[in-house]
Amino acid sequence: MRVLVLGGDGYLGWPTALHLSDAGDQVGIVDNFLRRGYDEEMGVQSLVPIEPLEVRTDVWHAVTGRRIETFVGDLVDAEFLLDVVRRFRPDTIVHFAEQRSAPYSMIDRAHAVHTQHNNVVGTLNLLYAIAEVDPQIHLVKLGTMGEYGTPNIDIEEGWLDIEHKGRRDRVLFPKRPGSFYHLSKVHDSHNIEFACRVWGLRATDLNQGVVYGQQTPQTERDPRLATRFDYDAVFGTVLNRFVIQAVLGEPLTVYGSGGQTRGIIDIQDTVECIRLAAETPAERGEFRVFNQLTESMSVEEMAKVVADTFPGPVEVHNVENPRVEADSHYYNVVFTGLPSLGLQPHLLSDTLISSLFPVVERHRDRVDRAALLPTVQWRRAESALRG
27 neighbors 57 (Cβ within 8 angstroms): no
Active-site annotation holds for 165: no
Catalytic choice (185, 212, 270, 351): 185
Active-site annotation holds for 231: no
The DSSP bridge pattern shows strands 159-164 and 261-266 to be unpaired
Q: Which residue from 12, 16, 11, 14 is spatially nearest to 277, judged by alpha carbons? A: 16
Neighbours of 352 (CB within 10 A): 22
32 neighbors 6 (Cβ within 8 angstroms): no
d(CA 168, CA 175): 20
d(CA 224, CA 56): 6
Counting Cα atoms < 13 Å in the Cβ hemisphere of 327 gives 6
Counting Cα atoms < 13 Å in the Cβ hemisphere of 82 gives 10
The size of the chain, in residues, is 387
Q: Which helix (H) or strand (E) holds 241?
A: helix 238-248
Catalytic choice (181, 212, 231, 331): 181
Q: Which residue from 216, 215, 181, 208 is spatially nearest to 47, judged by alpha carbons? A: 215
Separation in Å, CA 104 to CA 48, 178, 234 = 21, 13, 6
Residue 185, Cβ density class (10 Å: 0-12 exposed, 13-18 middle, ≥19 buried):
buried
Catalytic choice (92, 144, 150, 227): 144
- Residues β-bridged to residue 298: 261
Active-site annotation holds for 38: no
d(CA 230, CA 237): 7
Name the residues annotated as catalytic.
Answer: 144, 181, 185
